Amino acid sequence: MDVRHFIEELQNSSEATKQRWVIGFTVATSSVVVALWMGYVALQVPDIAQPRKAGLLASAGIAARTITAPPKTAGVTETFTAGASAIADSIGLRLSRGIAMVKGILGPSNIVEVRGVKQDFILKGVEEVPETSFP
């Protein structure tokens, strides 16, 4: 199908059809943009080496823990528990690393102070407006 023919057919279709195509293209484009962004972030922020991770964990007061695979005869519950534990450990590591980074950025030497302008609402030299009652 020719692209020009497709566009003409879409222009002549109902509003509901046009809206479905807009939603579909929006979802597809958003997915591509998010995938490209995730790839870019993965390339720009390389994983820290294992000794560095252990040092960060020790500085955050967290003991390093190795994740072991569940036994081959494990059932659904054991497998789910091991997976949830691995995910929780990964999230905990990332959170502790993020908190340590934020603490380093927002240390006592970095102070941000925002002050508003003092406004004086006393109008001097302006004539008073007479009150007007409405019916």
Domain boundaries, the chain: 1-46, 47-108
Higher pLDDT, 18 or 105: 18
Per-residue pLDDT reduced to its tens digit, 29-68:
999 999 888 888 777 766 554 555 555 555 655 555 555 5
Q: Rounded mean pLDDT of 13-24?
A: 92
Whole-Å CA distances, 117 to 8, 93, 111: 57, 43, 19
Report the 10 Å Cβ neighbour count for 117: 4
Percent of the chain with pLDDT over 70: 69
The answer on pLDDT for 109 being more than 70 is: no
